[in-house]
Amino acid sequence: MAFSTDGWANIGASKRGNAPALYTYATTDAIADVNTAGYFNDLADTLEVNDLIFVAHSGGVALVFVASNTGGVVDVTDGLTVTATDSD
């Protein structure tokens, strides 16, 4: 599928100082689709290298960050799976 602004939210935008911005994104797409170069191209003017995105995807939740944003092509990392333990 493709990126949709319906699932996009800004949690904490950096003032373009040293800190990265933080975003969330919810989608029914698989993380393998989301982490494909070009998926976030619609946000090329917004995203900066090292910005963080929590992605709620079809298989769970992952944390990705922007690895590159060159010539309007945004590439994010593969994603670190976020897991939870509830042992009670």
- How far apart are the C-alpha atoms of 3 and 62, rounded to whole Å? 16
The pLDDT value recorded for residue 28 is 96
pLDDT tens-place string over residues 63-72: 999 999 999 9
pLDDT tens-place string over residues 77-88: 999 999 888 888
**How many CA atoms does the CB half-sphere of 15 hold within 13 Å?**
1
The domains of the chain, with CATH numbers, are 20-82 (2.30.130)
pLDDT tens-place string over residues 25-62: 999 999 999 999 999 999 999 999 999 999 999 999 99
The pLDDT value recorded for residue 15 is 67
